[in-house]
Amino acid sequence: MGFFDALNHLFNFLLPALGLAAIAAALSKGLWRRELAGVRWLALFQAAAVMNLVALVLGLLIQGRDGRMATYGLMLLACTAGLWWRGFGPGRRG
């Protein structure tokens, strides 16, 4: 495997986590417009992306394969927790 193949694999591994974080942050800002008026979209995205990436790596380590439905379910729960923490929880102040 060459450098660009490895880079392509890494990009495709990270894309679901980053895509879900971007979509979830945008939907959260749209659905809770008043409540999240003081929270930047980028802050929501960062919190969700970090949690998603942790869940994605954990799923890979535990199950030994990428792309399992349990990993994506864990990623959904982690994304929700990250958005709640940054948008409504203790991370809102920081």
- pLDDT tens-digit profile, the chain (94 residues): 899 999 999 999 999 999 999 999 999 999 999 999 999 999 999 999 999 999 999 999 999 888 889 999 999 999 999 999 999 998 887 5
Residues 77, 80, 81, CA angle at the centre, nearest 5°?
Answer: 85
Q: Could you write out the DSSP letters of every residue in 42-81? A: HHHHHHHHHHHHHHHHHHHHHHSSSS-HHHHHHHHHHHHH
d(CA 27, CA 59): 25
d(CA 77, CA 34): 24
Name the token pair of 61.
């380590």
pTM for the complete prediction? 0.89
